[in-house]
Amino acid sequence: MQQGQEQEILRAATRLLHGELVAFPTETVYGLGADAENPQAVAKIYQAKGRPSNHPVIVHVAPDADLSYWARDIPEEARQLIKAFWPGPLTLILPRASHIPDAVSGGQSSVGIRCPSHPVAQALLRQFARLKPSGQGGVAAPSANKFGQVSPTLAEHVISEFPEEVAKGMPVLQGGAANIGIESTIVDLSRIGQGVGAVLLRPGHISASQIGQVLGYTPQLPDSHAPRASGTLKAHYAPRTPLMLFSSQELAEGKLQHRVPAGQKWAVCVFDAGQQPHTEGIDWFEVSNEPVQYAHDLYAFLRRVDQLGYQRICIQSLPEDHRWEAVNDRLQRAAAAFPR
Ligand code: TXA
Ligand code: MG
């Protein structure tokens, strides 16, 4: 935490208490937060994001929060995963406590809860809980971006995405570049009581196999009864510039290079930009060949390239390896937003 940030955090927590929005850093991406127990405040998130109001948002809590205040039932699986991964980039979907408004759960009977590890997020959550008469405070927050767009990994991204809110005084707490860079892993445990085991709703930095090691079984993929999650929509996380994936073979055979129409400029991302010959219409960009670094860089990179005025962003397909599962998920969805 930066020196002198305590005052800013107190001001932000006070605004939350008064039903206003606050943007804050987490280790995954920046969040756009509101008091989770105040439906009018949560409605402001949907309005600012342009997000359909039937999509649930995650409730963020401090490490010392009383989980039974937020969840009706805390199955053993939840305790195991919390012990292993909290605070950190893991969201658990649990049966929701009755006082949690529909605005948070999207009308579903479950609630998504996450305890972030970022020190600024924790300081905000602690301060907010202290201001609440119950001593329990939760901050409902999706990623601080317009609906369907790339999540922010820097405070500057949030400021450029929400100029009106910032002009009206919304605090954007500074927390540097998000360490992880992609959204949390989401595991649904809301149907354990009905005999349905853990379901992986969204892959992330904490992998399915790490979760499997803790639970003793690999989480299943969502079925049609699994809770809805907007991050699981087919087209999501997209930059403004049309994005497409291409195979190493298409590149090696020169097929990609031949697709660039005359007069256009494409940004082409490869693992070895230094090896590529000068090609008319193409600017080569190098991306990390290591999945954790790739995730860290991805959204900031997409935002930067988005501003450079290319007609297309082309990204080399990722290795078929479970270590790439989370970034692959985001890239597949980003590409699905545009016809190839
Ligand atoms: O890393 C993250 O999770 C970031 C930071 C800010 O914490 N937040 C984030 O929020 O990615 P958002 O709204 O962009 O994505 C949250 C996902 C959505 O896909 C939402 O539908 C799902 O969590 N979700 C939240 N509550 C849920 C619930 N009760 N049932 C099913 N899905 C839920
Ligand atoms: Mg989001």
Q: How many angstroms does the Cα of residue 189 sit away from the middle of ligand 2?
A: 21
CA angle (147 as vertex; 141, 153 as ends), nearest 5 = 60
45, 154, 185, 186, best to mutate for ligand 1 pocket (most atoms within 8 Å of CB): 186
Please write the tens of the pLDDT for every residue from 181-226.
Answer: 999 999 999 999 899 999 999 999 999 999 999 999 999 988 777 7
Of the pLDDT bands very low, low, confident and very high (cuts 50, 70, 90), residue 238 is: confident
Q: Is 126 in the pocket of ligand 1 (CB under 6 A)?
A: no
Please write the tens of the pLDDT for every residue from 97-137.
Answer: 999 999 999 999 999 999 999 999 999 999 999 999 999 99
Q: Which domains does the chain have, with CATH numbers?
A: 6-215 (3.90.870.10), 243-336 (3.40.50.11030)
**Nearest in space to 243 (alpha carbons), one of 332, 149, 314:** 314
Cα(205)–Cα(92) distance, rounded to whole angstroms?
14
Ion ligand 2, residues whose Cβ is below 5 A away: 143
Q: How many angstroms does the Cα of residue 253 sit away from the middle of ligand 1?
A: 40
Which distant-in-sequence residues (6+ apart) come within 8 Å of 183 by Cβ?
Answer: 28, 29, 89, 143, 151, 202, 204, 231
Q: How many angstroms does the Cα of residue 280 sit away from the middle of ligand 1?
A: 42
User: Is beta strand 31-35 parallel, antiparallel or unpaired with respect to 139-140?
Assistant: antiparallel
Cα(282)–Cα(157) distance, rounded to whole angstroms?
26
pTM of the model: 0.95
Please write the tens of the pLDDT for every residue from 51-103.
Answer: 888 889 999 999 999 999 999 999 999 999 999 999 999 999 999 999 999 99
* pLDDT for res 52: 85
